[in-house]
Amino acid sequence: MAPSETTPLLQHQPDQTPHAPDEDEELPNNPPRGTFARNLSARDGFALLISIVIGSGVFSSPGPIDANVPSPGSSLLIWLLGGILAWTGALTMAELGTAFPGEGGIQPYLSHMYGPFWGYMAGWSWIVATMPATLAILSIVFVESVYSSLGVSEPSPPVTHKLLSLLVLVCVSTANSISTKTSTRLSGFFVAVKLLTLLLLVVAGLVVVFVFIGSSRGKDLGGGDWHQCNWFAPRSTALPDGRGGRLNWRDVGLWESLGFYSTALYGALWAYSGWDKANYVAAELKEPSRQLPLSINTAIPTIVACYVGANAVYYVLLPWDKVATTDAAAVTAVTHFLGKGAGYFATALICLVIAGSALGNSFVAGRMTVAAANKKWFPRVFGTVGQIGTFKVSKAAQEETEGADDAMDKGESPINALILNTALSAIYILLGNMRILLTLNGLAEYAFFFLTVLGAIILRYREPNLHRPVKPIILIPLLFAVISGFVLVRGAVFAPVQAGILAGIWVLGAIFFYVRMRFLRRRVESP
């Protein structure tokens, strides 16, 4: 990428190291076209989207979702609704990505639509809330998966689980501090592991179904509830907050139940994370106006089918009461069905998937922070590489012969940025749990996704002549805006603690922005 080009903070490309913009560079009104070779087919775009979206969520989110819905059938509908949101959102992002080629993230879109402050706020929210919460969730799920294989599944894990989650987080950050290319080199391997694990789950579910149907005694190797109970009948479940006790869904009113559904949807949206990266695929397609919609319209439905199928398998393999109380559904299901040996094998596969996701997210979080520092949004120390504080630990940093971007391309690590990300993630691990963090993460992400898609609708009328190689019918962004807007509002009302924390983070970000810009302006004006 040429040095003069602007790269947004929120860019994440699976096999490319994001470059930070120059310090004094402003977002252009007409962003440059990307420099990637356009040699990918629709099939390649399909595979890339599959690899970006399918992650650890399908193995860990079923419990938090099931705990917030009245029936397994409702849970499967939540997974379907999450897929519809991902589908409509991906098509809208494809419109923006082809209208503003070379940008690749919502930060420049928001800057263009609403002004640079909103682009900054998106970057601040991702660095301080979304990415640390993501890393915290992954670290927690890693530990919970190991414990589940050992037969330990507790709604409120003890402090030792948090300490082990901190250890996982530190190991991931250390790995990225030593070698910045680890996650990208292993990306293909992790994709294969994801698909293999999903395949094994589906096969296990089919075995249970066919054994039951073919057995004269009606032998059931799974949980048993799947053929004895109505999949859509309201039932009594464990309270979602893990405090013990039961929730009778027949006593829950409509408005309250919408709050539960909103919380459940955040769990599904976590599993679909990555749909917004559809515009990265456009940069390398031969004919993006034709191939990008084709890639999205085949990849997202495939992912939805995989997720709905995998969750149906959980209900076949496990007693339904158990689904709601575990944060590692895949490991628990395999262990219940095939025993501890198979559970250990599944744990190893899923932990590899989680480790790959954690490495990739830590990799991106460090570069987001460097980019923010290079735009003077964060202190300069966070834009350095090969340094711990002001102490230079690498030869390149000591010699100062190249910029941060070039140094990262050659393997140097943004250690200070990684330390900041690790510290923030550690706070989330210590103060929250997976289910609380899923809601916080969903609120943080979808607030800006909502603003972005709303802006895309506004641009249809404000800039009707803007060249849009991909232009879905207006109903698609409207559907996303209506559903995500409602879920945001109802989810925030239903989870006031998470909403309050997020609002506080945004207020601090706004104050920090204006104070820092005023300080920098005075420094420039002083003789």
Where in the sequence is the domain holding 349, given as residue range(s)? 50-525
Distance CA 62, CA 325 (A): 10
Spell out the residues 6+ positions from residue 61 whose beta carbon is closer than 8 angstroms to its own: 267, 268, 270, 271, 329, 438
CA distances from 327 to 78, 100, 102, 223, 240 (A): 17, 39, 38, 17, 12
357 neighbors 169 (Cβ within 8 angstroms): no
| Rounded (5°) CA angle 267-442-514 | 165
Res 190: pLDDT: 66
First to last CA, the chain: 36
DSSP string, 255-278: HHHHHHHHHHHHHHHHHTTTGGGH
- Cβ distance 278 to 90 under 8 Å? yes
The reported pLDDT for the residue numbered 97 is 83
Closest by CA to 49, choosing from 265, 362, 266, 302, is: 302
Say which amino acid occupies 149: S
CB atoms within 10 A of CB 289: 14
Any idea what the Cα angle at residue 86 is, between residues 247 and 52, rounded to 5°? 110
Count Cα atoms within 13 angstroms, Cβ side, for 33.
8
277 token code pair: 């990266």
Tell me, yes or no, whether 27 lies in a domain.
Answer: no
Q: What CA–CA distance (Å, rounded) separates 95 from 175?
A: 36
C-beta separation of 8 from 116 below 8 A: no
β-pairing verdict for 236-238 and 246-248: antiparallel
Q: Provide the domain count of the chain.
A: 1
Cα 146 from chain centre:
22
| pTM of structure | 0.82
Q: Quick one: DSSP state of residue 15?
A: T
Of 445, 457, 444, nearest in space to 503 by CA: 444
Which residues fall within 8 angstroms of residue 354, CB to CB, at 6 or more apart? 56, 59, 138, 141, 142, 145
Residue 213, C-beta contacts closer than 8 angstroms, at least 6 positions apart: none
d(CA 102, CA 115): 19
Q: What's the pLDDT at 243? A: 56
Rounded Cα–Cα distance for residues 368 and 378 (Å)? 11
| Nearest residue to 378 via CA among 388, 367, 386, 393 | 367
Instruction: Please give the average pLDDT of every successive group of 10 residues along the chain, which has 527 residues.
Output: 44 38 37 47 74 80 89 94 93 87 75 91 93 92 84 70 92 77 57 73 77 59 79 81 70 88 91 80 70 87 90 87 82 79 82 81 84 84 78 56 52 82 94 89 93 94 90 94 93 92 95 86 71
Q: Does 39 fall in a domain? A: no
Which structure tokens are listed for 12? 């994440």
The helix (run of H) or strand (run of E) holding residue 124 is: helix 116-125
Q: Is residue 389 part of a domain?
A: yes
Task: Report the C-alpha gap between 161 and 269 in whole angstroms.
Answer: 25
- What DSSP element (H or E) covers 97? helix 72-99
Q: Is residue 387 part of a domain?
A: yes
Q: What is the CATH number of the domain that holds 394?
A: 1.20.1740.10
Q: Would you tell me the crossing angle of helices 106-114 and 434-462 to the nearest 10 degrees? A: 50
Written as six digits, the tokens of 372 are 């923010």
Q: Which amino acid is at 405?
A: D
- CA pair distance 329, 418, nearest whole angstrom: 30
Instruction: Compute the distance between CA of residue 283 and CA of residue 44 in angstroms, rounded to an integer.
Output: 12
283 domain-assigned: yes
Buried b (16+ CB within 10 A) or exposed e, 125-157: bbbbbbbbbbbbbbbbbbbbbbbbbeeebebeb
Could you tell me the sign of the dihedral formed by the alpha carbons of 455, 461, 462, 467, in that order?
positive
* CA-closest candidate to residue 5, choices 102, 122, 108, 119: 102
d(CA 278, CA 40): 14
Q: What is the DSSP string of 387-427?
A: EETTEE-SHHHHHT-S-HHHHHHTT---HHHHHHHHHHHHH
Q: Which segments of 290-406 are extended strands (E)?
A: 387-388, 391-392
Let me know if residue 36 belongs to a domain: no
The answer to whether position 316 is within a domain reads yes
For 204, the enclosing helix (H) or strand (E) is helix 187-214
**Residue 41, in any domain of the structure:** no
